[in-house]
Amino acid sequence: LNKPWYNRLPRMITRVLTLDLGEARTLKTASGDSRVLSLIYERLPRTMLLVTSATITTALLGLFFGVKLATIVGSRSDRLASIFAATSNAVPAWWAGILLILFTYLVLSYSGLRIFPPGGMYSTPPPTHWLARFIDLLWHAALPIITMVIISVGSWTYVVRTMVMNTAQEDFVKVARAKGLPEYLVMRNHILRVAAPPILTGLILGLASSLGGAILTETVFNWPGMGRLYYDAILSVDETVVVALTFMFTLLYIAARFLLE
């Protein structure tokens, strides 16, 4: 800090671009490594399993139901979907997660049914065989994935439905139908192709942001991913990790913007 900014800033940019992110003051990996890059390498696959999987699932469901709803605008199903979209978009992720934990673990366990665990990555003690360990990991990831899909699939469906509906009202679509083209060709070649760019924009930005993790969801479900790493760094006042993760999230966003362009 005793050098002028025009000396410090290029060095800092070079360190970020080469992923030389320094060392954490308090946080360490499971093997005891305090390098921030090692912390990211350890947490990133866990976040991809959880948040990125939920984002992809949400996008696929939104595309399927959004296109279906665009063909039945004004129907009862369309109105119910609009209500669900507004409701799910307004529900906080942490609140939905707590409710699902209370219902699936406390209520159902009291009835003798244990569908999902309340949190964590593995059972205690964890399985030793690799296949059983992997199945146990998926079992623990199921409930937080379901939570994130529930709170985001409604708005994503409504966005796709609106994009497809607006495109379907264009003159070139009416001309294609007047020519007698089959409806599936009109939908694929004339509607979805035109509506794809804004939908793809939201998907790519969503995938990029998913690599940053979900701070509240990962904290509620005690999932040690990127979001939980950020949360732990804030609580332990480990400013090296906070600054490094902020740089990483910014680089991911910039990379996604370049990809979109």
Q: Contact, 208 vs 223, CB < 8 A?
A: no
Percent of the chain with pLDDT over 70: 98
- Chain centroid to Cα 132, Å, comes to 26
The predicted model gives 154-175 an average pLDDT of: 88
Checking if the pLDDT of 252 tops 80, the result is: yes
Checking if the pLDDT of 105 tops 80, the result is: no
Beta pairing partners, 123: none
Checking if the pLDDT of 14 tops 80, the result is: yes
pLDDT tens digits, one per residue of 204-236: 888 888 888 788 889 889 899 998 999 999 999
Please name the residue that has the structure tokens 């794809």.
Answer: 196
Give the whole-angstrom CA distance, residue 239 versus residue 245. 10
Return the pLDDT at 93. 85
| C-beta neighbour count of 187 within 10 angstroms | 21
Percent of the chain with pLDDT over 90: 20
Residue 166 to residues 69, 162, 243, Cα–Cα distance (Å): 12, 6, 42
Per-residue confidence at 1, pLDDT binned at 50, 70, 90?
Answer: confident
Nearest to 55 by CA among 127, 142, 145, 115: 145
Helix 239-260 vs helix 36-47: crossing angle, to nearest 10: 60
State pTM to two decimals.
Answer: 0.84
Return the pLDDT at 89. 83
Return the pLDDT at 188. 84
To the nearest whole number, what is the mean pLDDT of the chain?
A: 87
Checking if the pLDDT of 56 tops 80, the result is: yes
pLDDT tens digits, one per residue of 38-55: 999 999 999 999 999 999
As to burial, measured by CB atoms within 10 angstroms (0-12 exposed, 13-18 middle, 19+ buried), residue 230 is buried
Return the pLDDT at 234. 92
Return the pLDDT at 101. 86
The predicted model gives 113-125 an average pLDDT of: 81
Checking if the pLDDT of 108 tops 70, the result is: no
Checking if the pLDDT of 109 tops 70, the result is: no
The predicted model gives 237-258 an average pLDDT of: 89
Q: Contact, 44 vs 211, CB < 8 A?
A: yes
Q: Which two tokens stand for residue 220?
A: 């509620």
Return the pLDDT at 232. 92
Backbone angles phi, psi at 35, to 5 degrees: -70, 140
Return the pLDDT at 233. 92
Beta pairing partners, 23: 35
Return the pLDDT at 88. 85
The predicted model gives 100-119 an average pLDDT of: 76
Checking if the pLDDT of 57 tops 90, the result is: yes
| C-beta neighbour count of 254 within 10 angstroms | 11
What single-letter amino acid sits at 43? Answer: R
| 3-state helix vs strand vs coil in the chain, percent to 5 | 75, 0, 25
